[in-house]
Structure 1
Amino acid sequence: MAKEEFRDVIQRCQILNEEDFKGEDFDHFQAAGKKCLEEGYIAEVLEIIQNEKNKVIIKSMGWNLVGPLIRCTHEYKENDIERDRCKKILDKLVEFCNPKELVLGFLEQIEQTSKEQMSQTVLLLLKPLQEVLLKLHRNKAYSIGLSLSTILNQLSLLPVPYTAQQVQEDMHGLCRCCNALTDFVNPFVDEVVRHMETSDGGCKDLKEELLSFCLKSLKYPLLMAELEELPEETIKHPLRQFAADILGILLDIRELIPKVFPQHGCKNQIWDNEGLVEIEQEQSADSLACLSYIVFVQDFGMNYFPVVFHPSYILQCNMVHIQVLLERKEESVLSKGLDLLESCLLRLEDNSLFLQYLEFRSFITIPQDMVKLMTLCPFEPLRKKSLKLLQLYINKFEEEGKYTLFRCLLKTSNHSGVEAYIIQNIKNQIDLSLKSTKSSKCFTGLQLVSLLDAVLSLPEGAETDLLQNSDRIMASLNLLRYLIIRDNENDNKTCIWTELTKIEQNFLKPLHTGLNMSRAHYEAEIKNKKENRRESHTSKTVCSVTVAGGKMPTMTSEMELQVLQSALFTFDLMESVLARVEELVEVKTKIAAEANTGVK
């Protein structure tokens, strides 16, 4: 019934001229053709399509069969004969139909396809869509841009394979689609290149559409993808190849170097906050950050860059990209940010960055971002790498830069462990300065005093939560002990002896008071818990305890007692170092006094 109805429609339209086709003819053709395909009369439809007598009909109405034909192709994916017939029908539609209508028909099918059939539909239509686009003359660049944008938008619904196994399996077909997209755009890239070589100024719009495609591809899927080589050397990483292809397109259309080193100069990216906003409005910050990662970490396209760029300039240009990556939450993106920072820092010699770099916003915010990663990131490898890179970052600054960086991090980190780490760095710098034959402007003398004021103090005086700040306090005590041992009163290179009275008043005495208060509080808590435990006759009673301002997980009374005892042990440790410091002060003061008396 369906095939007879379709033949009737065809016969009726054969006697009409193209301009005489009415709306009802289009409706009847679409309904009958769709029914034929759905009922499996594919051979009959192919026969009608291939008949030269029907060429005018197919030219005007054939694009209406695209939807049913795509569904039919998916349905017969296990039947090679019928699937091949569907593809032949599609080829004939490409040959006869109006290109503009076919483009819209193809894109409509891509937009309407389900997530499960997305890659199948895209892979099926890319070649026909390419052929149709190549036929266009008017609005060609717009149609190509619309096609690429539609395809990428739909592919972005698919998850990006991350592990080596996921990449190899390519369950959702994303890798295959990306590599097919490269073949899809190649003829249009060649067209732009030809016009650029003749300098006729043509294809400017097409070039912009290809550039937009590259930037979108960098944001998805490449930003989220793991681009390291697969462990099996025989297997080629498809998304890594896609990244190389995208860089190849940028290189061909002469946009690679301008996008890595913008013509307005990275000065606007770093020096001028308004300039950064302008850049982000013009093009995706994520895309450019991913591009820099691919170039400087994966070393794609590096041989095309001039060797005149100084490592510090490369770091400057990349800081805004590193900042963009480190502000994301995804593990793969954060990892790219850290890798890009590491790659730039390793190009630099230690002590080569001047203080002036810290006037640029990114140079201050990035170490703060690393501190957040060190303390808050749920991924342990990234926490460890952030700590390693923070030290590498510190090492690249000369001493004035280190000094300013230390002050900034002490003020902003709000984490006792990080503050202790910075104080240890300060101690190391003082030690280097005292051993050096050159005088230090920052880590000896009066300028060191303001830094010591920030270190040798309690945030809230005697009421400071000593347990929560134990790491910082222990590091401060160890620094003070070192200074007293290393710097004699007669030398006083660090000004520690002239500042000792102030240190005792602002740090040592409040610490004594705080330790006494804290010890009394925790000892009373332990006594109460032990009495309560005897009354309940069990150590398995579930309870909760608040330590360092935070509520601990629910625990038994025995576990709670262990936590309280651990706190007392921490106080013992502090008291031990504090006593040692006071003992050293007393001994060295006495020695200095005796020496002065002997001189007199």
Structure 2
Amino acid sequence: MALEQLSDVVQRCQAIKDESFSPEDYDLFLAAGRTCIEQGDSAQVLSILVDEKNKNIVRCMGWNLLGPLVQMLLKKEDKNLPHCHAILSHLLEVCSPKELLVGLLEQVEEADSASIAETVTLLLKPLQTVLLRLGVKKASSVGMALSTLLSQVARLPVPVTKEQEEDDVFGLCRCCTALLKFVKPFVEEIKEVVKDNNRMSRDNELRVELLKFCMKSLSEPLLEVQLKDPDTLQKSPLRDFATEILIILSNIGESLPDLLSRNVLKRREVPGFLEEEVRYPKESLACMCHLLFVDHIAVDIFPAVLSPIFVLQCNMEYIELLLSRTEVSRLQKGLELYEKSLVRVEDNSLPVDLLELKTFFSVPQNLVKVMTLCPDQTLRSKGLKVFQLSIDKFTTEAKYKFFRGMLNTSHHAGVEGYIIKNIKNQIDFSLKPCNGNDWFLGKHLLPLLRLVLCLPHGPETDLLQNLDRIMESLNLLRYMLIRDKEWENETGIWTELYKIEDNYLKPLRTGLNMSKAHYEAELKSMKEKKISSKDSKASVCTVTVDNEKLPNMTPEMQIQVLQSALFTFDLIESVLARIEEIIEAKERHLS
């Protein structure tokens, strides 16, 4: 029935001159053709379409059959495949390339999540054929096709394990490989133009579309991908894709060193700055830098003449971008890029001038967030390692100013404690023979010590919340009083001691006594409640400590919490008592 309808509409249209077919003709042709293809009559459809008498009809209406044709090809029914492929080839040869392009891209866009990979790999070759038919006017069409394809490919899950990439369980690998074959003739065309610089324009439309393709590929999917080491996975389609993307950038006239240093060397007052930002997205450049310096992709086309400090400076804006995100993949790549950039720099070589740059302030702030807030323990540990590595690279003056800045801005007791520990290490190093300096001894050190040896809220400071900072500051003070003899006073601590006693030690002693008394009273009360309770194991109660309610728990649990707090206070008091003994011994000696 459908075959007869198709034959009828075709015969009727043969008599129509000037190809002035009506909308009804189009609808009948599509409905009958679709039904024939779906019913398995593709051989008969093919014979009608290749008939020379029907060439004008096919040229005008044939592209409408792309939908049902693609669906049949995706089903891969053996008996229909040869004829369906033949129909597609004939349509690609006869129909208008612009209409074919629209029809093929519609099929790509309409693919559901389960058939994206199959649809993309099936239609890339037909799309390439259609685009090449467009000749010199194809640039915008190439851009539209690449944008549509990448948007769909970006929906595919990224393989995480070696086995997932080897088996290509999500289809991403074969899509990436097929995309490289798809763009090859267009890249070769621009590559030939690049050879003759006189004919090359940075605004060449096809070149710009290929640049957009590379930039989009870097942000999706490559920024999500954690490439496997060649020793782990010798043949990696995703590594090959990343490598080719960087090679394409080079082939179309983009200098990788220039891309790396864009954010350092660009002049923001130049007209068209916004366009440049859109053309070179920071996320894409961040991924490029990670590929270059962490994965060592395309290192053979990247000149190794840039100084490590300059490379670090260039990478800082991309590191800042990655570490400001919350996705694990972004944070991991930000930490890796920062680490690899720092490793190449000599210890104690980063000058203090760099701290005036915005990124050298914001990156440590973001790093602190990773160290303290990231739910992933591995990333928190990695963050701490990279944080220390960054400290090690600064000169003595830069370390001093970095510590001062962090103490003023971190507002996290654990981080502040870590900074104080580093200050202690710098003082220890400075006190050794031939290591003296102007920053961790004498007049410069004292203002830093005033930041260290203070309580944020005086005697009312929450000692438990600030435990890390308090313990490290007390350990530093104890060390200095023992290590730096009063007659030498290299650090200036003995001159400053009376201020430290008044502003830090006495308020700390007062706060400690208050806290201990409060917690001891709470503990006594809890023990009395426990004794008076008939069924202490079943009872649940609430205790308020320092104006904060502890979570509901059994009396045994409450008692354990209070005892733990008192143990902590004893720990603080033991160090404080030792410092007070040293000071008393010094005063007895003077008297």
**Structure 2 SS opposite 1:401:** helix
Matched, 1:237 2:236: yes
1:136 matched residue in structure 2: 134
1:290 matched residue in structure 2: 287
**Structure 2 SS opposite 1:254:** coil
Q: Deviations over 1:44-70 (max 9, x none)?
A: 112222323322221111101011111
1:3 matched residue in structure 2: 3
Q: How do 1:390-429 and structure 2 match up within 5 A?
A: 390-429=387-426
Aligned AA (2:238):
L
Matched, 1:83 2:85: no
Distance change (3 Å), C-alpha of 1:277 and 1:36:
closer
Q: Deviations over 1:247-292 (max 9, x none)?
A: 1111111214255334x561459x99x9998864443211110010
**Structure 2 SS opposite 1:522:** helix
Matched, 1:435 2:407: no
Distance change (3 Å), C-alpha of 1:180 and 1:544:
farther
Once residues 217 and 102 of structure 1 are traced to their aligned partners in structure 2, the CA distance between those partners, rounded to angstroms, is 25
Q: Which moved more, 1:310-319 or 1:11-20?
A: 11-20
Matched, 1:486 2:483: yes
Aligned AA (1:445):
G
2:37 matched residue in structure 1: 37
Q: Which of 558, 573, 578 is residue 571 of structure 2 equivalent to?
A: 573
RMSD: 2.2
TM-score, structure 1 normalization: 0.93
Matched, 1:104 2:102: yes
Distance change (3 Å), C-alpha of 1:268 and 1:563:
farther
Q: Deviations over 1:533-560 (max 9, x none)?
A: 1122334223445667766554322121
Once residues 64 and 320 of structure 1 are traced to their aligned partners in structure 2, the CA distance between those partners, rounded to angstroms, is 49
Distance change (3 Å), C-alpha of 1:101 and 1:405:
same
1:598 matched residue in structure 2: none
Q: Deviations over 1:172-204 (max 9, x none)?
A: 312211111111000000000112223423781
Once residues 454 and 394 of structure 1 are traced to their aligned partners in structure 2, the CA distance between those partners, rounded to angstroms, is 19
Q: Deviations over 1:296-353 (max 9, x none)?
A: 1111122223332110000000000101111111111111111111111010110000
2:160 matched residue in structure 1: 162
Q: Deviations over 1:93-129 (max 9, x none)?
A: 1111111110011111111221222121111110000
Aligned AA (1:243):
A
1:473 matched residue in structure 2: 470
Q: How do 1:545-560 and structure 2 match up within 5 A?
A: 545=543, 552-560=550-558
Distance change (3 Å), C-alpha of 1:37 and 1:299:
same
Once residues 62 and 307 of structure 1 are traced to their aligned partners in structure 2, the CA distance between those partners, rounded to angstroms, is 55
The answer for unaligned runs of 5 or more in structure 1 is: 595-600
Distance change (3 Å), C-alpha of 1:551 and 1:222:
farther
Once residues 12 and 156 of structure 1 are traced to their aligned partners in structure 2, the CA distance between those partners, rounded to angstroms, is 46
Give, in angstroms, the shift of residue 589 of structure 1: 3.6
1:189 matched residue in structure 2: 187
Give, in angstroms, the shift of residue 493 of structure 1: 1.1
Q: How do 1:338-357 and structure 2 match up within 5 A?
A: 338-357=335-354
Q: Which moved more, 1:285-294 or 1:224-233?
A: 224-233
Q: Which moved more, 1:243-252 or 1:581-590?
A: 581-590
2:512 matched residue in structure 1: 515
Q: Deviations over 1:429-462 (max 9, x none)?
A: 0011111424311100111111000001111000
**Structure 2 SS opposite 1:528:** helix
Q: Deviations over 1:381-409 (max 9, x none)?
A: 11001101111000000111001111111
Percent of aligned positions that are identical: 52
Q: Which moved more, 1:21-30 or 1:361-370?
A: 21-30
Matched, 1:331 2:328: yes
**Structure 2 SS opposite 1:165:** helix
Q: Is the 8 A contact 1:394 1:402 kept in 2?
A: yes
Q: Deviations over 1:209-262 (max 9, x none)?
A: 00000000000000011112377545x222222111111111111214255334
Q: Which moved more, 1:404-413 or 1:165-174?
A: 165-174
**Structure 1 SS opposite 2:501:** helix
The answer for unaligned runs of 5 or more in structure 2 is: none
Give, in angstroms, the shift of residue 32 of structure 1: 1.2
Q: Which moved more, 1:290-299 or 1:165-174?
A: 165-174
Once residues 277 and 516 of structure 1 are traced to their aligned partners in structure 2, the CA distance between those partners, rounded to angstroms, is 61
Q: Is the 8 A contact 1:268 1:275 kept in 2?
A: no
1:248 matched residue in structure 2: 247
Q: Is the 8 A contact 1:260 1:292 kept in 2?
A: no
Q: Is the 8 A contact 1:133 1:140 kept in 2?
A: yes
- Between Structure 1 and Structure 2, how many residues are aligned? 587
Q: Is the 8 A contact 1:445 1:494 kept in 2?
A: yes
Once residues 527 and 276 of structure 1 are traced to their aligned partners in structure 2, the CA distance between those partners, rounded to angstroms, is 69
1:173 matched residue in structure 2: 171
Distance change (3 Å), C-alpha of 1:298 and 1:246:
same
Distance change (3 Å), C-alpha of 1:171 and 1:68:
same
Aligned AA (1:49):
L
Matched, 1:373 2:370: yes
1:597 matched residue in structure 2: none
**Structure 1 SS opposite 2:454:** coil
Q: Is the 8 A contact 2:354 2:360 kept in 1?
A: yes
Once residues 276 and 535 of structure 1 are traced to their aligned partners in structure 2, the CA distance between those partners, rounded to angstroms, is 76
Once residues 285 and 263 of structure 2 are traced to their aligned partners in structure 1, the CA distance between those partners, rounded to angstroms, is 14
**Structure 1 SS opposite 2:158:** coil
